[in-house]
Structures are given as structure tokens and as C-alpha cells.
Amino acid sequence: MELEFLIEKTALVLVLFVLTLTIAAYSTWAERKVAAWLQDRVGPNRAGPFGLLQPLADGGKMFFKEEIIPSGANKYLFIAGPSLALLVSFLGTAVIPFGQNIEIFGRVVPLQVTDINVGILYIFGVVSLGVYGIMIGGWASNNKYSLMGAIRGASQNISYEIAMGLSIIALLMVTNTLSFKEIAAQQHGWHWNVLYQPLGFLIFLICAFAETNRVPFDLPECETELIGGYQTEYSAFKMGAYMFAEYINMFVSSVVMAVLYFGGYNYPGMDAVNQALGPTWGPLIGVGVMFFKIIAFIFFFMWVRWTVPRFRYDQLMDLGWKVLIPLAIANIVITAIVIVGFDLFNKL
Amino acid sequence: MESLSGRKKVLEQKPMNFWERMYLPAIFKGMAITFSHMFKKKETIHYPEQQREFSENWRGMHSLKRDEHGRERCTACGLCALSCPAEAITMISAERAKGEEHLYREEKYAAVYEINMLRCIFCGLCEEACPKEAIYLDGPIVPSDYLRKDFIYGKDKLVEKPLKEIEAEKAMSR
């Protein structure tokens, strides 16, 4: 392995790591700001200009708070829960292409840590591991509320993963590949997958809300019924780790939705821009476009959170099993018929 | 059953049609409403810098008044402490010595006068009980603090400034 390759990948991983942390930290700030704006308030504005230092203050507070481990808890699993949730949430972004190949110092660098040909399966595997963090943490707390939150989290994630996977299958029938790089490249210019798979996108979006445990599907931690759900016994930075994991998950699902359905770094008229700006600055604009889409999705997550009330548990299960899964299967069938129909039409 | 008031309305509950059962139109409508609130005027008052306007009879921090010659009006009769439902007021009285006539109006005065602002409920009964018009709840909001002992306000915080100082301040502000 050459040295340049190592340096390139290390730099990419570091940048991605820091970026994920920063975005997650500032999501907490943005969440409070968006919540405030939607409710005719101002939001945090005391720490630094526009309250921009608020995440640092919150993080510092989390570090210096007293850590309490309940006497009946399983000590090792109690620590393993939040650690696992945080660790697993970081893994997702490794297969995401954040832009086209970029030329730096005469070297062509792909803006992707690794392009594995089963990228979508990898993301699914990693995201479903996240539920272990919730499950282990909730069980190790030795608290009934935590356990109920954990069980809800597990059953909810499993139910919605099915519908999510089925909606992805319809997408794969259109793209014919599992690699994120190829899927992104296929959506060149205007050919975004959301135009071919609107129903699939809607199902995926709803399932993404459930997978990240966001309102209106935040049943694992719902305060009104379960105090804090699986987080009830957690304090200080272990609680912060769970919160951070949630925001990183939100970031990862926004990224995945942007790449799979909204064209990733593609935007109309990109060829002309790339030609005008050259191989270094052109792709950077694509990266900017990508992050614009990601931030728009994160805003959407928050916007929904401060609008829609929480589902009841039986309604959640009804929606998952009786509505979304049949819809996703219907979507697969319709997609298949349309694809076969086009093939026959082309042969004639 | 027959409604006695005649104002009873029976709500008709229709089964939801297809679009209503989808919930999505209703959700988008709600989201449009919340989004429109982003651009509305914020209701927030930035407290320490901006202050809400209070009504004329709003009751804030107490002040012990002076008369027109700048002498303390309080005669330490204890009626305010007696009337206080929260038992927030205590005082120790003392007799006016010779040569102190310019400081205290009556022969007896409060050497120590303390109000515990954490106990006070700002009901204004002390104000009503006072026969000498010595105490009024006409001050600002009681500021926050870190220690309980710092909420026991003595005469240093409660007594009005001497007339000369007030006039000097007025002159400055002009």
C-alpha cells in the first residue's frame, strides 16, 4: 500500500469523524432553535453570538455531572449500552460518497472512505446494530421503565426495518446495484430516484423516522408514559452518548436519503459548472449541494418533531405492519410490472 | 335526555373518508401552519435587558419610605410583621436618642428590619397594615441569587435613599 493512499484515507476518515461530531453537536443547537422559531420564541441566544457556543456548554455540563450507576444494574452492560449506541452510529458514513472524484495536487481522490459493492446492506446492518445499544442499556438498568422502553425500541426497529428493506428492494430494481457510488453516479443531473420511486421514498422516509426514534415514533423514550424509556437511569455523559447517537443517526439517515433518493451530489447543470471550474473546484460545489440536501433533511426531521404528536403504540404497530409493509410490497410489484413493460416495449 | 339549558349541541361523528384516513394531508397542513410561525413576530422579552411593562398596582420589592424631610417613617410598631401571612418580616426596635431627630420621625424606630424574600408572597398586606405609610411594594422584581442567606434583605437594601441623593440623581439624568 502506498503512503499517499494511507494519508488520503486517514485524512478522509478524520474529516468525516470530526464533521459527524460537529453536525451532531450543532443539531442539538439547531433543534432548539427550530423548536423556538416554530413556537414564536427566540431559542438559545446567550452563549456566544446566536447561542452558537451552546453545544460546547451543554457538552461541558454533561462531562462534569455526577455519574450514577444504579446498585441493581449490571455494571458492564450498563456502560456497554451507550458506548455501543455511539460507536455503531459512527460507522454508517464510511460507505457514503460525498462528492465526485476530486483532483488534489494532481492526484484523483474519491470522496468516499470505501466503496464496497454491498454498501446498502452494510448501512442496514450497521443501523440495525444500533438497537442493541438501546436493548442492552435498557435491560442493564434493572428498571421497569427502561426495560419497557428497550422492548418498544427493539420491536419498533424490527417492524420498520422490514418496510424499509422492502422499499429499498424496489429502488434496487431500478438501480440494479447495491453500491452507493454507482447509485449516486446514476442519478446524474436531474435523474433523481425520487422521481422514479415517489412511493418508495415516502415509505423510506416514514421508516427513517421510526429507525432514528424521532417524534412521532419516539416511543422508546417517550417522557409522558415511560419517564425516559431506556434512558431513565442514565446520567452525565452516558445519557449524552445516547442523545448524541440519536443525532448522529439522524445525520446518517439524512445522508442516506439524500444519496439514495435525492441524487446526492448531483444537481441540474453540473456538467457545465464542472467544465467551468475544473476538476478541483467543480466537485466541491457538488459537496456543497450534498450538504445542503442533508441539512434540509435534518431540518425536516426537526420540523416534523415540533408539529406532529406522538403515535400510540398500537397505532405504531398498525402503521408498520398493516399499512407500510403491504404498500411496500405493492410498490415492488408495480415497479416490476413497469420495468418488464418497458423492456417488452423496447423489444417491439 | 332533554337539555335544560337548551345550549347542548350533539356532535356528529362521521367515519373518516380515504384522504382523512391517510393522515398525510392533515400532517402537511399542520406542517404548513408551524412553518408559517417561523416568520411571525417573536413573543420573547429578553428579560434583563428588556423589561415587561407592569401595571400601576403591580407589587414588587419592598421599600421603606422616608418623609418629606428625609427621615425614616417606620416606627417599628410590628403591624406589618403581624399581618404578614408568610411570616417574612422581623424587626428589632430601638429608642431614638437625642440628636437623631433628623434621621427618624418617631421616638421609636426599627434598628433592624429584615424581610425574607424567599418567604414573601408579595400579597401587599404589610402595605395595608402600616399606619405610618412607611412600607410600599413599589420596587422592581427581586433579583435572583445563589445563597439563601442573601435573600434576607436588611435595611441597607430596603430603605429609600436619602432625599439629597435622589435629587442629585434626578439632576444627573436631566
Task: Give a three-class secondary structure readout of A110-129.
Answer: CCCCCCCCCHHHHHHHHHHH
Of A38, A41, A42, Cβ closest to residue B34? A38
The cell numbers describing B108, all together, are 421609636
Chain B residue whose CA is closest to A37 = B38
Task: Output phi, psi for B130, to 5 deg.
Answer: -65, 120
Read off the pLDDT of each residue in B51-76 and give the average, rounded to a whole number.
87
Helix boundaries (H) for chain B: 18-22, 24-37, 79-83, 125-129, 155-158, 163-173
CA distance A15 to A22: 10
Round to the nearest angstrom and report the end-to-end CA distance of chain A: 51
Longest dimension (CA), chain B: 93
Residues of A with CB under 8 A from a CB of B: 37-42, 303-304, 306-308
The confidence band for B156, taking pLDDT boundaries of 50, 70 and 90, is: confident
The confidence band for B174, taking pLDDT boundaries of 50, 70 and 90, is: low
Of B31, B40, B41, Cβ closest to residue A304? B31
- Cell 485524512 -> residue: A11
**Contact with chain A for residue B27, Cβ under 8 A:** yes
Check B41 against A40: CB less than 8 A apart.
yes
pTM for the model? 0.80
| Total count of residues recorded for chain B | 174
B41 interaction partners in chain A (CB closer than 8 Å): 40
Of B33, B38, B44, Cβ closest to residue A42? B44
Q: Which of A314-318, B88-92, B163-167 has the highest mean pLDDT?
A: B88-92
Residue B27 pLDDT? 87
State in words which class domain B63-173 has.
alpha beta
Check A41 against B44: CB less than 8 A apart.
yes
The lowest-confidence range among A110-124, B94-108, B117-131 is: A110-124
The confidence band for B90, taking pLDDT boundaries of 50, 70 and 90, is: very high
State the Rg of chain A over Cα: 21
Residue B25 pLDDT? 86
**Contact with chain A for residue B34, Cβ under 8 A:** yes
Residue A330 pLDDT? 92
3-state SS, residue B111 = strand
Cβ partners under 8 Å of residue B136, min gap 6: B62, B63, B65, B127
Check B35 against A40: CB less than 8 A apart.
no
Domain boundaries, chain B: 63-173
Ranges of chain A with pLDDT below 50: none
Of A41, A42, A306, Cβ closest to residue B34? A306
Task: Output phi, psi for B145, to 5 deg.
Answer: -155, 175
Cα A183 versus chain centre, distance: 17
- Contact predicate A88/A211, CB 8 Å: no
Chains A–B, number of C-beta pairs less than 8 Å apart: 32
- Contact predicate A73/A141, CB 8 Å: yes
- Contact predicate A250/A301, CB 8 Å: yes
Q: How far is the CA of A32 from the CAs of A104, A229, B39, B110, in angstroms?
A: 38, 21, 16, 51
Nearest CA to CA, how far is A35 from chain B (Å)? 9
Of A41, A303, A308, Cβ closest to residue B43? A41
Of B30, B41, B43, Cβ closest to residue A307? B30
CA distance A253 to A212: 8
Strands B63-64 and B135-136: antiparallel
CA atoms within 13 A on the CB side of A9: 10
Residue B116 pLDDT? 92
Read off the pLDDT of each residue in B49-61 and give the average, rounded to a whole number.
86
Read off the pLDDT of each residue in B134-163 and give the average, rounded to a whole number.
87
Round to the nearest angstrom and report the end-to-end CA distance of chain B: 73
CA atoms within 13 A on the CB side of A169: 16
Chain B residue whose CA is closest to A304 = B31
CA distance B15 to A12: 56
The cell numbers describing B84, all together, are 404578614
Which of left, alpha, beta for A65 (phi over 0: left; psi -120 to 50: alpha)? Answer: beta
Residue A1 pLDDT? 62
The cell numbers describing A23, all together, are 453536525
Residue A143 pLDDT? 84
Share of chain A above pLDDT 90, in %: 6
A304 interaction partners in chain B (CB closer than 8 Å): 27, 31
CA distance A305 to B77: 60
Nearest CA to CA, how far is A176 from chain B (Å)? 31
Read off the pLDDT of each residue in B45-60 and give the average, rounded to a whole number.
86
Chain A residue whose CA is closest to B44 = A41
B35 interaction partners in chain A (CB closer than 8 Å): 38, 303
The lowest-confidence range among A48-52, B101-105, B169-173 is: B169-173
Residue A232 pLDDT? 83
Q: Which of A50, A215, A301, A308 to mutate to test the interface with B (most CBs of B within 10 A)?
A: A308
Burial class from Cβ neighbours inside 10 Å (0-12, 13-18, 19+) for residue B121 reads exposed
